[in-house]
Structure 1
Amino acid sequence: MLKKREKKTGGGIVETMDSSNSNQKICAMIPAQMNPLQNDFDNDIDFHQDSFTLAQPTSESDETSDEDFSDIVLAPIIDQLKRLLEQYSDGQIIKELIQNAEDGGATEVKFLYTGKKQEEIKYSKKTWKETPIKIAMQAPALCVYNNGIFTDKDWKGIAAIQCSQKEKEPLKVGRFGLGFKSVFHLTDFPLILSGDKVMVMNPLASVSKVVFSKKLCKIDKDSQRTILKLIGDKFGFSRLCFKDGYQGTLFWFPLRTEPSKLSRDTYTYEKIQDIFHGFKDLAPSILLFLKKIEFIEVFEESENDLIYRVQISAKKEEDIHHIREQRGDFLHQVVELNGKLANEYLFHYMKLSIKCEGKKWLSEETNTKDWIVVNHYHGGSVSDGLQRLIDDEEWSYSPYVSVAGCLSNCDEQFKGHIYCFLPLPLERTSPTGLPVHINGFFALSQDRHHIKWMSSEEENRTGHSENAVEWNKILATEILPMVYSELLTYLTKAGIDTNTIYKLFPKPELITENWKIFIKPLFKQLYEKNIIFTKASGGKWIKPKEATVLVKEEYPDTTLKVIEDVYLLKKTNVACLPDVFVESLKSHGRIEVSDSSCLHSFLINHDDIFELMDINQKMKLLEYFISNDIEKLQDLKILPLANGEFNIFDAEEETVFLCEAESLKLFPGMESRFLLDISQKLIDRFQVKQLMSEHIPELLQECIEINSFRHKEITPQITDWLNVVWKYIHKNEDVFQLSWISHLHLLPFHKENKLIQVDSVSILSSRKNMDTLDPQLSNSLENLGVKIITSLSNTISALVEGKFVQYPTTEESDETSDEDFCEIELPPIIDQLKRLLEQYSDGQIIKAPALCVYNNGIFTDKDWRGIAAIQCSQKEKEPLKVGRFGLGFKSVFHLTDFPLIISGDKVMVMNPLASVSKVVFKRKLCKIDSDSQEAMLKLIGDKFGFSKLCFKDGYQGTLFWFPLRTEPSKLSRDTYTYEKIQDIFRGFKDLAPSILLFLKKIEFIEVFEESENDLIYRVQISVEEGEDLRHIHDQKGNFLHQVEELNGKLANEYLFHYMKLSIKCEGKKWLSEETNTKDWIVVNHYHGGSVSNGLQRLIDDEEWSYSPYVSVA
């Protein structure tokens, strides 16, 4: 027969010794009347305040007597709580209360802070005994509500200290610690109200009276009034609850406002704010791994004053219902297993949107993030280590692991965190280094701050680990890699954006030390999964061994994309991956990584691929091979020729030359022999050479043959080409030998209008400083085959005269002085200028040399105002005025300091060097003094119809006189010579063939030297004999009239005007010695009818003064 003796200690702390079971739990802080062991009590139990005595079993042996046993002293409850508070920071309080709600089956949790002070009842043994509820119902306070209801086991558990009622319940969050007691940071007297009961705790009381518990229906009226006064309007609590019970759980924590025996820490409004700020940091992910709670709210003073809310967000109630069912179904499966292994893996996939909404001081922002959560319960065939722990009766952890990945545009600095359904305390850096949150039944330190790992000291000392450490290692290496890889593969099937998925891949270099053990098992899993994305075949996910991989870090972004696109042209399974990812996969199997050799082989094996590539792709490939492996260019058709085509890299091919764009103009039609803008590294490799002066003659010969220049009549295009060639030779005289080109057809022979060889027997017909070749002699020489050259451009003359082309006579004797030479050879214009400069002082405005410009229009008053204005245009609001687009007349100040304008009955002179008020001089012609009249008549009296009569009757046209600046002035240091004016007109000559096409009125432009009898150049609208320009003039005028009437607005319908023009250009002397006529068709259009919104908006804009006028010729 077994004998049992029990010893009762003070405060209801009980220990039972039974010879058949010596493994009883020790529970403190449980009043004797509530202790689950109370049934074993008998009359032999002794109570001792704040001590604990082991009862002594009876033995029949004489060897042991009662005197051999003694008491073991347990610390008072208040000291035990103090030690617990040292383990649990006040930052844990919110999480522990959420944990309590989760374990109680709640779906909602609400926190409310009230700062309204209640009439204070001083604590004493007497007040505690008489009014325990009033002691607890004080304010300011923190009130916490959830919609779960306590079970009897919950009531027993919450009153226990140093043991957990949930330890053998594998899915209870609270099994991991005794965290509810952390509320004693805030309060000395927590009150709990749930279902039909109320409980108040007072650790300051004697041990036997620490916990007060009563049915709500048995609460005295005075206590009821106290409760109703503080919480009667909160979370559905009302007077009826004292009769019918409360459908939820409510905690009331009166804040400690003065130091007490339990803690010297007091709590103010600011400290409560800090606690909620800490909660806000956790809130965006706090619901991810919970199984029931759907939202958490924070209030201030009343439920109408919301401060913060975090919730599972859904567009409609059915979605929340679906999520609730999903969670519930998986939870039901897991609960039934009761911590044992499943027959096979259980996976649960859930997409959640978590919405956070802050107000007032806690946060003023709202954001929603989408997550994918994969929950897993392990089963099937497992490792011996895991099986051993699962079979251990003392081990009550479940093989449950979850992973959550953020699908929203999460911060690049995403910090993956660790959860045991609720998050462990946040750290400055991620405790894992992973881009996901991980959750599991990890074995934690007592304060729930850290996962237990073996320290390096323990590993070195023992070589083996305790069960908790071994368990965590198994979760990290056997189960977590499987769940993580399942998350990634699930996303690949769910149509999630590729970049989002790749962001969730771990970066091994960022993984923290304790979690590095997880990397190899993970990538072993991933190697067998379809986790590599390729754009081939419209986009698909493939296994790593099926991919041709481009390592991202090895290429600039633009090059990477081009090489990827090139592979895709042949539907290759190409993928772009980061280096660390590739290296991690390589350790588990073959990975084909593309390098220059691999890419070269691919291109050679698909030789038709070059026809599929665009120019950018070819150029980027060229750039890549030049930078990485230039020899691999062999046989690749990506050598960019100047004609826009590409050739194969091969030394056996025809030589191609690298040159500047200017040099390419020497060889029209030969662009396939040249390269532009390419790396110098290619020079003297394959068929590429740098263009040198010695290559020019041979290439010119080839150019002449290809273009048949030697057999063609000289055209303007050939003339332009000749100018380019001779200018190049002139520019490179120091390195270019004329003898190299003596055999080439580069000399223009105008009599036959053909090119002749440079070394042809030839002679000039005339030259300055020399006699002209006698006509009879000239004929005789021609009969002998000598080419008589009548004119050469200045550039050609300088190089060939006296060398290849002979002078007509010998040069003058050295006895002639410089003065004589200048006196004789000065052109007529210079003689006139010398005489003029003798007659007029420098101060006079009417000076020469000058540029004189005439047109047959007459200035209006608006024109006079506009031409005198600077930085504004009088034509700005006249949409058909050409001058509205700029203030270009002022450009004449390049040439002159004193422009003069005569038009109609007025004359104007500008002098920017004068004071502001005297810059412009303007007067009627009839009021000009006689000296000024005489000065004007001497210089322009014989030009463009200007005569003495104009001072009386006015001038029928407009005449500009620009005396050239011959010395630097305050306005400009640039001076203008005869040669510079010649250059200006040469520039005009290049524009002349098309300059009249779009003008509305001008019909011809002429350039003269010295007098109207000395024509240098003319461009005009040409008509055949018998025709009249009036028809063209009328055509232009009618269309112009229609357009002017619209004044920049849209026409009712499209207006088109068609005109055929012949433009004749005729040059003489030094400007050009040729005449040519070109026929054109010009279509002018003014827009109208129905137009786009954008055009209509601009037309309607009063500040917009452009017209919808477009022409094509």
Structure 2
Amino acid sequence: MASVRGDLFQYNRIRTATVVQQLRQILTQYPDNGTIIKELVQNAEDAGASRVEVVHDTRDLHFPDAHQQLIHFVQGPALCIYNDSLFSQDDWDGICRLSDSIKKNDPLKIGRFGLGFKSVFHMTDHVTVVSGGKVLLMDPCQPEDEMCCWLDLRRLTSVLPPHACQQLWGRYLTAEHLQRGHFPATLFWFPLRQKPSQVSRTIYSSSHITCLFKSFGVEASYCLIFLTSLETIILKQVTSSARASTTLHEVLLVGGNLAKVRKKREDFRQQLKQCNGSPSQPLSCNYEITVRAVQGKKNEQQTWRILHYLPIRSDVCTLADEEFEDESHIPLVGVAASTQANDSNAQGHLFCFLPLPLDPSNMTGLPVHLNASFILDHNRRHVKWRTAESSDQQFDVRWNERLVSVAAMVAYWKLLEAGLQEAQQHLLSASAWYSMLPALTRLSGRWYDMATTVWRTLATMPIIYSEEEQQTKTFLQ
């Protein structure tokens, strides 16, 4: 304590946890499963990447001739992440923040290197990032003012021999990149923890990564549905005996309309950017995508009709809702319907850009998938809904409920309206369109209320097809 003001009081600062203590707390909030990969996929999407590769490198790598400061960073086995986008200055700043995210200043980002990224410390104590002309080495066990160490890429071979660079990252980072001092992509390298540390007591083995891949694989085929940048996600493995990496799981957009889809996605991203998520008029964008998922001998394709929708803020927020003026949240929603009639894969699933875990609380009973910029619970696994313990006045709860009852309802209706027009032009089968309609008997709660509103609007539309008269009618005809 100190009395430096010459008065009768004594003063002291509030004690705060150390970085390591805060990291431990973060790791208790984020599960050690496929969510880790999803966080890295989200970051690649935010950066505008079209391709991301997640590589389980099982090789036992050691480079005693590397600079002493790099020894622990350039080891294997490891998890390697590659995406074809560049780090921005905001990304470099964001990744060095512990409990904050640059998303706070950019509502269009899913979550740029905030708490979720720190979940990688489940598996490693040493993070390496290579992008553009920089190399970042991050070690939270170092003194706090030395936890982040920077190196110019052009000087990397002065502390890590070229043969080591080639063995570690030669599939992506070439000798030409090193010579020029510029890598036109982003590479993460996470050596697996081999012994207990201050950050975690968990020794991370290759079997852990296998479990991560398996966990992510359950939802992998759905991951591209609502994204607007990524087109390919690949899970790979590298072994000592193999000369090349082995692809374990690949999810990608395919089809003859891919160029058209790419243009629509890009145009929508630009519209969102220009209005910074707060348009003067509602924005919408719809298209069809075909997703191919390849895992071993299993090769499946699924075509989805997607509609993104962003209402004007006043449609979701009333003048009395001062908290809703926080523009770090935007009411962006989306709906996806299978183009195949009675498709068993279209079991209404909630997304927050990427699919939320497949458990009952994240299933709606609707015949469409629903995406929204929901506010999630602390571990990003569930939407914050009204509960016996929560108050209806909580901002998070009210925001999520408004997204469903206002924005998502309109998006669903718009998707049905667009589909009806195409069905009338024989561009979509009648059975596929009817499969998009909600069955009230399967719904309850907010989803029943939402579907009821949709049906009230449908009652005035020509949706009943008469084979005898070869035309569609309304319920009232």
Q: Any idea what SS the aligned residue of 2:258 has? A: helix
2:229 equivalent to 1:292: yes
Determine the C-alpha separation between the residues in 2 that align with 1:215 and 1:512.
Answer: 57
2:406 maps to what in 1? 478
Give runs of aligned pairs for residues 692-841 of structure 1, distance below 5 A.
Answer: none
Matches of 2:18 and 2:133, distance apart in 1: 31
Equivalent residues of 2:53, 2:83 under 8 A apart: yes
Structure 1 residue aligned with 2:367: 435
CA distance, structure 2, for counterparts of residue 387 and residue 366 of structure 1: 52
Q: Deviations over 1:145-183 (max 9, x none)?
A: 000100111001011111111212111011695211011
Other-structure match for 1:543: 474
What is the identity, as a one-letter code, of the residue corresponding to 1:99? Q
Which TM-score applies when normalising by structure 1?
0.40
Tell which deviates more after alignment, 227-236 or 79-88: 227-236
Partner of residue 31 from structure 2, selected from 89, 99, 124: 89
Aligned: 1:324 with 2:262: yes
**Alpha-carbon contact 1:114-1:300 (below 8 Å) kept:** yes
Q: Which amino acid aligns with 1:377?
A: L
For 2:342 and 2:359, locate their aligned partners in 1 and report how far apart those are by CA, in whole Å. Answer: 18
- Distance verdict in 2 for CA 1:265–1:215, change over 3 Å: same
Paired positions, count: 467
**1:198 alignment partner, SS class:** strand
- Kindly indicate whether the alpha-carbon contact (under 8 Å) linking 1:436 and 1:504 is maintained by their aligned counterparts in 2: yes
* Residues 99 and 326 of structure 1, relative CA distance in 2, 3 Å threshold: same
Q: CA deviation at 1:355?
A: 0.6
Counterparts of 1:421-820 in structure 2, within 5 Å, are: 421-427=353-359, 431-459=363-391, 464-494=392-422, 495-511=427-443, 513-540=445-472, 542-546=473-477
Contact 1:170 1:398 in 2 (8 A): yes
Distance 1:176 1:515 in 2: 33
CA shift digits 1:921-965 (9 cap, x unpaired): xxxxxxxxxxxxxxxxxxxxxxxxxxxxxxxxxxxxxxxxxxxxx
Q: Secondary structure at the match of 1:258?
A: coil
Alignment partner, residue 382 of structure 1: 315
Instruction: State how 1:61-460 maps to structure 2 within 5 Å.
Output: 65=7, 68-90=10-32, 91-119=34-62, 131-174=68-111, 178-219=115-156, 221-225=158-162, 227-238=164-175, 240-301=177-238, 304-315=245-256, 319-340=257-278, 342-359=279-296, 364-379=297-312, 382=315, 385=318, 388=321, 392=325, 394-408=326-340, 411-412=343-344, 414-427=346-359, 431-459=363-391
The structure 1 segments of at least 4 consecutive aligned residues displaced by more than 6 Å after TM superposition are none
What is the deviation of 1:390? 8.0
The one-letter code of the counterpart of 1:82 is R
Are the structure 2 counterparts of residues 432 and 66 from structure 1 closer, same or farther at C-alpha, using a change threshold of 3 Å? farther
Relative to structure 1, is the Cα distance of residues 309 and 108 closer, same or farther in structure 2, using a 3 angstrom cutoff? same
Secondary structure, counterpart of 2:271 in structure 1: helix
Secondary structure of the 2:221 match is: helix
Inter-CA distance 328–426: structure 2 relative to 1 (3 Å threshold) = same
User: Contact between 1:194 and 1:248, CA under 8 Å: does it hold in 2?
Assistant: yes
CA distance in 2, matches of 1:135, 1:242: 24
Letter in 2 for 1:249: T
Unaligned runs of 5+ in 2: none
Q: Note the C-alpha offset of 1:300.
A: 1.5
Distance 1:170 1:294, change over 3 A: same
Counterparts of 2:38 and 2:337 in 1: how far apart (Å)? 22
Q: Report if the CA contact (8 A) 2:193-2:204 is conserved.
A: yes
Cα deviations by residue, 1:10-47 (Å, 9 ceiling, x for unpaired): xxxxxxxxxxxxxxxxxxxxxxxxxxxxxxxxxxxxxx
Write the deviation string for residues 433-453 of structure 1: whole angstroms up to 9, x where unpaired. Answer: 222111111111121111111
The secondary structure found in structure 2 opposite 1:135 is coil
- Which of 231-240 and 401-410 deviates more? 231-240
- Contact in 2 for aligned 1:189/1:202 (Cα 8 Å): yes
Tell me, yes or no, if the aligned pair for 2:74 and 2:168 is still in contact at 8 Å: no
Contact 2:346/2:369 (CA < 8 Å) preserved in 1?
A: no
Rounded to whole Å, the distance in 2 between the matches of 1:375 and 1:217 is 43
Kept in 1, the 8 Å contact 2:46–2:112? The answer is no
Shift in Å at residue 509 of structure 1?
3.2
SS of the residue aligned with 2:318? helix
1:134/1:223 contact within 8 Å kept:
no
**Aligned partner of residue 382 in structure 1, secondary structure:** helix
For the 8 Å contact 2:156–2:178, the answer to whether it is kept is no
**Contact residue 55 and residue 235 of structure 2 kept, 8 A:** yes
What is residue 556 of structure 1 aligned with on the other side?
Answer: none
**Per-residue deviation at 1:142?**
0.9
Report the CA distance between 1:267 and its aligned residue: 2.3
Letter aligned with residue 439 of structure 1: N
Shift of 1:391: 6.2
CA distance in 1, matches of 2:385, 2:139: 37
Q: CA deviation at 1:285?
A: 1.4
Letter in 1 for 2:393: S
**Identity among equivalent pairs (%):** 29
Tell me how far 1:338 sits from its aligned partner. 1.5
What per-residue deviation string (whole Å, max 9, x for no partner) do you get for residues 1006-1040 of structure 1?
Answer: xxxxxxxxxxxxxxxxxxxxxxxxxxxxxxxxxxx
Aligned residues of 1:488 and 1:501 also touching (Cα < 8 A): yes
CA shift for structure 1 position 289: 0.9
C-alpha distance in 1 between matches for 2:274 and 2:461: 31
* Secondary structure, aligned partner of 1:136: coil
| 1:970-992 alpha-carbon deviations (Å, 9 max, x no partner) | xxxxxxxxxxxxxxxxxxxxxxx
Distance in 1, matches of 2:390 and 2:253, equals 43
In structure 2, what is the equivalent of residue 663 of structure 1?
Answer: none
CA distance in 2, matches of 1:132, 1:215: 15
Measure, in 2, the Cα distance between the counterparts of 1:262 and 1:399.
Answer: 37
Taking only aligned residues, the RMSD between alpha carbons, in angstroms, comes to 2.7
Greater radius of gyration (CA): 1
Q: In structure 1, what is the Cα distance between the partners aligned to 2:341 and 2:475?
A: 27
Following superposition, the deviation at residue 68 of structure 1 comes to: 3.4
- Confirm or deny: 8 A CA contact 1:415 1:430 kept in the other structure: no
